[in-house]
Chain A
């Protein structure tokens, strides 16, 4: 299981990367993509929408099931990965890179510090197994 040290993580298996400009990039973890299997469709969030923390903002669908993707923090959606419309499998092949889902401008950047770090996310996943 690949869990990069420099990211934060949620209980719903999103990863969150804080950029230098204060925005955040969100995707799903390697563990999540492996559990979901081959992804065939991604519904990315509406750009410019304001969302609460833990709001369902996107959907990833494998052959067998649809899963909601949640906002890790409150804020506004500022970008979404348009490549996923034609290549949803990028989430499987490169979950922390080309398979990113969307970007947010968080209302309160300190909320991010309350998310799991890599060590605690690994612990959380092994407890669930």
Chain B
């Protein structure tokens, strides 16, 4: 099992360490709920050094990414801008989801999931045969996410001086960099904040400076509950290679225009769209007491209509919320089977919480 450059900090802070995608990382440092609420109300910091950073450069880098990703990097015009995309196989199945940053002409940075690292790197390599593109993993960079309404104000002052002002001026989904420090206004919590790639040697001191400034150390547990409340999918749980963006609530990530861009999976997605999508990923709220969990089945009358892919107790809403993949014609209120009981659940948008507030449709 691998340790991140912040392993000593986790041990020192009393983090409860678990294995995740081959890495030893904290699930929490005492209270998942306190960590979650700190991110919604102030600021929290996550060690996300396990995430895989890959750089793409060379004369064909742009054309290569326009082939490999279902979203279109050609729409990124300003250096530093970023987009979320899926990477599909020929059948339209999702190999991984990722964020890609436009650095300069024919130079891009991508952050993919840790658990899919090996298959992603193999796929990148296999698809590059006809392109002049250099694909370079950056395993020596650490990555720290600072998230919450106070995250930018606190963290920007602790960045290297050369980045302090430019980092404050970033809009959403933008990035700036200096030497090996890369600062982006992306995240996985539904709050404002930064994701920062930095040299491993600089990571412990930066982490400590954030804690000293009052930012709360947060584990993988809060990361999962925050992303679920924010309506963000988890690869391997809410979607796999058996699912397409159209059946995973990610149709908005498919750039159909221009029609002559032949991204991998386009043919299969076009057929699926024409035939009608059989399943949808939707949100549910449990009105009564209990907790929705991955694997629980949904029923309309006696008909089984779907399955919960991610479920949790929502610390912000104080009730349970979930994503479920359901037959498209049944994407409505229904019942969930929890042990011996069938309980009513209400179908809502998958975004349960945004910027610290419950989404209007949920309350």
Residues of A within 8 A of B (CB): 37-38, 40-41, 43, 59, 61-64, 66, 85
Contacts and interface: CB of A to CB of B under 8 A. Distances in A.
A40 B31 contact: no
B32 A61 contact: no
Nearest to B313: A40
B290 A63 contact: no
Taking chain B's interface residues, is the majority helix, strand, or loop, or is none over half, making it mixed? mixed
19 contacts: A37-B31, A37-B32, A37-B221, A38-B31, A38-B32, A38-B33, A40-B291, A41-B291, A41-B320, A43-B339, A59-B339, A61-B313, A63-B36, A63-B313, A63-B315, A64-B27, A64-B32, A64-B312, A66-B291
Interface residues of B, number: 18
Interface in B16-34: 27-28, 31-33
Nearest to B34: A38
Contacts of B28: 37
A62 B224 CA distance: 14
Q: Which of A37, A63, A64 gathers most chain B CB within 10 Å?
A: A63
A38 B225 CA distance: 13
Contacts of B221: 37, 63-64
Interface of B: 27-28, 31-33, 36, 221, 224-225, 289-291, 293, 312-313, 315, 320, 339
Given A38-B33, A41-B290, 5 more contacts: A40-B313, A43-B290, A59-B339, A64-B224, A85-B289
Contacts of B224: 64
A43 B341 CA distance: 11
A62 to B, nearest CB: 8
Contacts of B290: 41, 43, 61
A41 to B, nearest CB: 5
A11 B225 CA distance: 30
Nearest to A41: B291
A30 B143 CA distance: 35
Nearest to A61: B291
